[in-house]
Amino acid sequence: MQIDLRTVSIKPLRNTFDHLARRFGDKPASRYQEGSYDIQAAENLHYRPTWDPDQQLYDTGITRIVMADWYALKDPRQFYYSTYTLARARQQDTAEANFAFVDSRGLAGMLPDELREIALKLLVPLRHAAWGANQNNTLICGYGYATVFTQPCMYQAMDNLGIAQYLSRLGLLLGDTEALEAGKEAWLHGAAWQPLRRYVEDTLVLRDPFELFVAQNVALDGLLYPLVYESIVDDWMSARGASAVAMLTQFMSDWYGETRKWVDAVLKTAAAESEHNRAVLREWISAWSARAAAALVPVAELALGTEADDAVGEQVAALSARVAKTGISL
Amino acid sequence: MDMKTEKKTLNLKERYRLLTRDLGWEPSYRSADEVFPYVKYEGIKVHDWGKWEDPFRLTMDAYWKYQAEKERKFYAIVDAHAQNNGHLNITDARYLSALKLFLQAISPGEYAAGKGFARVGREFPGVGTQVACQMQALDEIRHAQTQIHALSNYNKYYDGFHAFADARDRIWYTSVARSFFDDAMSAGPFEFMIAIGFSFEYVLTNLLFVPFMSGAAYNGDMATVTFGFSAQSDEARHMTLGLECIKFMLEQDPDNLPIVQGWIDKWFWRGFRVLGLVSTMMDYMLPKRVMSWREAWEIYGVENGGALFRDLARYGVRPPKGWDDAEKAIDHMSHQIMLGLYQWSFGTSFHSWIPSDDDMEWLAKKYPTTFDKYYRPRWNHIKKLAAAGTPFKNFGLAKLCQCCQLPVVFTEPDDPTLLCNRETVYEGEKYHFCSDGCQQVFENEPEKYVQAWLPMPQLFQMFDGDVAAWMDWVSLRDGHDNGDYDGSRDQQNFQQWRGLATSNQ
């Protein structure tokens, strides 16, 4: 039997805020909408930045991408702060349990030496690449236009930091502080890492937020994550008895599966806006993904040796197919 | 390899260093100047970013975990508040004017601070500094969103909330706060940190948050007080960051002192003017008042601020230049601003009112040297006009200060009977200021402040003085959002709904 509790019923005067009613009609708005649409100042900005007087404080002109309405670039996950932190809190619970499991069962010690070495050589220097990604997404959030586009970049930046920290913990667990020192040395001076470090440093000087979005989140991470975490760790290493490593990188695999949906949605909306945008995106994705692929070959070689070329080639083909679905043929 | 090597035990500081600072590196394919282009032009000298002391050591996993816990609690209470008509538990719907002002003027500032911290979280070359700023960027997004979410339910039942996004960019009084945040964001990264991280978060935040959130608690506003409690631990982190940042600048090079002192002077005064709106809220807008603005200033300004500047004296920092003028203004400012808001209430998206006899008794007691002498007579005069059916309305153009953007309503620091008005001629144009403090800010950087967007002239330039067209443009619904609280729709609805909820009529 259902019992309806009686409450004092008062008819509301209105359903939502004016700016949301203009966008979505006169109906109750979701918390994502309330927290994301039109909350950045847009008009009557008071002063030009002293750090670059050619720009406005919030400026759509600092990127080559042109949008009639930047709030079209919505996040299909509808992440606002609360849903974002709740999602990551659950994932960090799992990650924590995985680290504890590997540690308490002594699984790290049971790894074949050769595979542990590979895991350390391949994964630990990537914490610096993840820090580069953090820098880039922070910049997109800071200088990009419209909250629906920029807030997920802040979330992405903090995820990048979280990933860098998980990779550091993996290094400490499998190889103690020496592993972090060796990883940094390899990142700075090891031949295998220089093309990738050069790539990252070249992105650190980009100031077009959308180009940076492409160079980091589409081109580099679109190749690096499936290559490293899916092909190498989850498949190649697990098949050789190192599934403990895959437990330590589950966060990265799950995270990539989730965030790529957002990245694709942004590309798709921007490309659908105009032929101009599509052409710019094609140019950026082609140029940056070619460079990223070349930079990742010597990295993949650390695990795959002579198979690295093919493995990277597969990912390049997969990325092309993925990008084609967003309406951009390379 | 030995499978059972003992791992080194890392202390918290060392572990945190490895998990954050050690992630960064000196670029060699590109120059540091290319990667961090804005870090030198302000003249602040930093010799060693490694000397930065991490003000808190929070890794991302811990951040997600703690914050998610807080979010769960916050939304559970806000949901319950909405579901159970929590808005009927407030002392009186007059209280909502404070919330309306907050949503239109302060919440957008939280969001702007988030953008600003994302920028400096990228522009500073030190990893420790960057991470701390990035976390604050994330927190500020949180604060903007939780404030909107906490107040969203009030919007469904009361006027004045519905157009906060339009008001932020177009209405006149919000440009006090907007110009403050725009000013900080258009400054370089170090000045931004002094403006927001130090002056706003450290010196002034207590004067904003404590009275505001206590005001919410005193007036039965569960939604806002929950936001306040939930934000408190974030604010504690932000204050620590602000203080660390200023100490870092001062310790890095003695040449930084005069630059930093100039910014402290400027941002104290800018912040003090923004707080003018808070003083009015505390003294006039809360039906049940927590303490007077004067009492809050004694605790959070004189005591806390005094202790802070005594602490900073070892770096050669002296209290902000405008401190004495601020002290002289304390007993006047809330009255002067409320009188202004009342006479221009046709153009505010919140209600104001003539204080009741009880209110005036309270004000007289809290301001024994000023209220009866200077302000009660004015209120009595206004009351007489209202009783005669000719309420005092000023449709004239409020002259706004070119710097703080408040109407020029303040008096001379040493003569409360004389309106303070300063002028500076710059490149043939005359600019007006409300105070010496604001005039000095302008004169130090005139090329910046001549750009200020002044909302009042807009009324004339764009709408040729057509007030109705201007109201449309700022999305102000005449007769509902504005004017006197007495007789307003908010007042009628609140009384009627409360009657439904508390009686059997």
Q: What is the pLDDT of residues B463-481, one digit of tens each?
A: 888 889 999 999 999 999 9
Question: Is residue A165 included in any domain, yes or no?
Answer: yes
Question: Cβ B178–A46 below 8 Å, yes or no?
Answer: yes
Query: Both tokens of residue B469?
Result: 């067209």
Question: Cβ B61–A51 below 8 Å, yes or no?
Answer: no
Question: Cβ A88–B493 below 8 Å, yes or no?
Answer: no
Question: Cβ A154–B27 below 8 Å, yes or no?
Answer: no
Q: What angle do CA B477, B478, B481 make, to 5 degrees?
A: 60
Least confident stretch, B33-42, B74-83, B146-155, B389-398: B389-398
pLDDT of residue B461: 82
| Count: domains in chain A | 1
Identify which of B188, B26, B8 has the alpha carbon closest to the alpha carbon of residue A131.
Answer: B26
Task: Count CB atoms within 10 A of the CB of residue A319.
Answer: 21
Using CB atoms, which residue from A130, A134, A204 is nearest to B30?
Answer: A204
Is B2 a residue whose pLDDT tops 50? no
Distance of CA B146 to the CA centre of its chain: 16
Distance to chain B for A41, nearest Cα, Å: 6
- Note whether B71 contacts A: Cβ–Cβ < 8 A: yes
Identify which of B180, B250, B228, B252 has the alpha carbon closest to the alpha carbon of residue B401.
Answer: B180
Residue at token pair 């920028």: B119
Is B4 a residue whose pLDDT tops 60? no
- Note whether A26 contacts B: Cβ–Cβ < 8 A: no
Question: Cβ B23–A57 below 8 Å, yes or no?
Answer: no
- Note whether A7 contacts B: Cβ–Cβ < 8 A: yes
pLDDT of residue B68: 98
Mean local confidence (pLDDT), B445-469: 89
Give the chain A residue whose CA is nearest to the CA of B171.
Answer: A44
Low-confidence residues in chain A, pLDDT < 70: 1-8
Phi, psi values for residue B431, rounded to 5°:
-120, 145
Least confident stretch, A6-20, A276-290, B132-146, B175-189: A6-20
Question: Is residue A2 included in any domain, yes or no?
Answer: no
Using CB atoms, which residue from A14, A141, A180 is nearest to B22?
Answer: A180
CATH classification at residue A270: 1.10.620.20
Question: Cβ B170–A41 below 8 Å, yes or no?
Answer: no
> Phi-psi category of B332—alpha, beta or left, where left has phi over 0 and alpha has psi -120 to 50?
alpha
Q: What angle do CA B182, A24, A17 make, to 5 degrees?
A: 50
- Note whether A14 contacts B: Cβ–Cβ < 8 A: yes
Residue at token pair 């941002």: B267
Rounded CA gap, B364 and B165, in Å?
37
pLDDT of residue B501: 76
Rounded CA gap, A288 and B408, in Å?
55
Question: Is residue A16 included in any domain, yes or no?
Answer: no
Question: Is residue A4 included in any domain, yes or no?
Answer: no
- Is the Cβ–Cβ distance between B335 and B371 less than 8 Å? yes
Question: Is residue A257 included in any domain, yes or no?
Answer: yes
Q: What is the pLDDT of residues B337-359, one digit of tens each?
A: 999 999 999 999 999 999 999 99
pLDDT of residue B254: 97
Angle between helices B256-280 and B205-218 (to 10 degrees): 20
Question: Cβ A128–B25 below 8 Å, yes or no?
Answer: yes
Residue-number span of the structural domain to which A115 is assigned: 80-324
Distance to chain B for A35, nearest Cα, Å: 5
- Note whether B217 contacts A: Cβ–Cβ < 8 A: no
- Considering only residues B420 and B205, tell me which one the structure prediction assigns the higher pLDDT: B420
Give the chain A residue whose CA is nearest to the CA of B501.
Answer: A8
- Is the Cβ–Cβ distance between B158 and B205 less than 8 Å? no
Distance to chain A for B221, nearest Cα, Å: 18
Using CB atoms, which residue from B8, B60, B111 is nearest to A176?
Answer: B8
Task: Count CB atoms within 10 A of the CB of residue B407.
Answer: 23
Q: Where are the domains of chain B?
A: 33-45+62-353+392-502
Question: Is residue A261 included in any domain, yes or no?
Answer: yes
Using CB atoms, which residue from B135, B156, B187 is nearest to A50?
Answer: B187
- In the stretch 275-294 of chain B, residues with CB closer than 8 A to chain A read none
Least confident stretch, B308-312, B390-394, B411-415: B390-394
- Note whether A5 contacts B: Cβ–Cβ < 8 A: no
Is B71 a residue whose pLDDT tops 60? yes
Mean local confidence (pLDDT), B451-462: 85
pLDDT of residue B1: 42
Contacts of A11 (CB under 8 A, 6+ apart): none
Contacts of B249 (CB under 8 A, 6+ apart): B44, B46, B190, B193, B256, B260
Chain B positions touching A154 (Cβ under 8 A) are 114, 118, 134, 137-138, 141
pLDDT of residue B463: 85
Chain A positions touching B186 (Cβ under 8 A) are 46-51, 57
Burial class (CB in 10 A: 0-12, 13-18, 19+), B230: buried
DSSP states along B11-52: PHHHHHHHHTGGG----SSS-HHHHSTTSSTT----S-GGGP
Query: Both tokens of residue B283?
Result: 């003294």
Mean local confidence (pLDDT), B84-109: 95
Task: Count CB atoms within 10 A of the CB of residue A261.
Answer: 12
Rounded CA gap, A308 and A313, in Å?
8
Task: Give the ranges where B281-367 is alpha helix by DSSP (H).
Answer: 293-296, 306-312, 323-329, 333-343, 357-366
Question: Cβ A187–B25 below 8 Å, yes or no?
Answer: yes
User: Quick one: CA dihedral B162, B167, B173, B176, positive or negative?
Assistant: positive
- Average pLDDT value for chain B: 93
Global ipTM: 0.97
DSSP states along A176-209: HHHHHHHHHHHHHH-GGGHHHHHHHHHHTT---H
Distance to chain B for A116, nearest Cα, Å: 11
Rounded CA gap, B123 and B130, in Å?
8
Using CB atoms, which residue from B30, B68, B111 is nearest to A89?
Answer: B68
Element (H, E) at B422: strand B422-426
- Note whether B29 contacts A: Cβ–Cβ < 8 A: yes
Chain A positions touching B68 (Cβ under 8 A) are 85-86, 88-89
SS3 labels along B78-131: HHHHHHCCHHHHCCCHHHHHHHHHHHHHHHHHHHHHHHHHHHHHHHCCCHHHHH
Percentage of the residues of chain B whose pLDDT score is greater than 90:
83
Question: Cβ A85–B60 below 8 Å, yes or no?
Answer: no
- Note whether B505 contacts A: Cβ–Cβ < 8 A: no
Chain B positions touching A99 (Cβ under 8 A) are none
Using CB atoms, which residue from A45, A127, A201 is nearest to B29?
Answer: A201
Question: Cβ B41–A51 below 8 Å, yes or no?
Answer: yes
Rounded CA gap, B17 and B15, in Å?
5
pLDDT band at B5 (very low <50, low <70, confident <90, very high): low
Mean local confidence (pLDDT), B217-226: 94
Question: Is residue A37 included in any domain, yes or no?
Answer: no
CATH, domain range B33-45+62-353+392-502: 1.10.620.20
Rounded CA gap, A37 and B181, in Å?
20
Chain B positions touching A161 (Cβ under 8 A) are 20, 23, 60, 131, 134
Identify which of B308, B202, B315, B309 has the alpha carbon closest to the alpha carbon of residue B255.
Answer: B315
Q: What angle do CA B161, B203, B259 make, to 5 degrees?
A: 115
Collapsed DSSP state (helix, strand, coil) of residue A42: coil
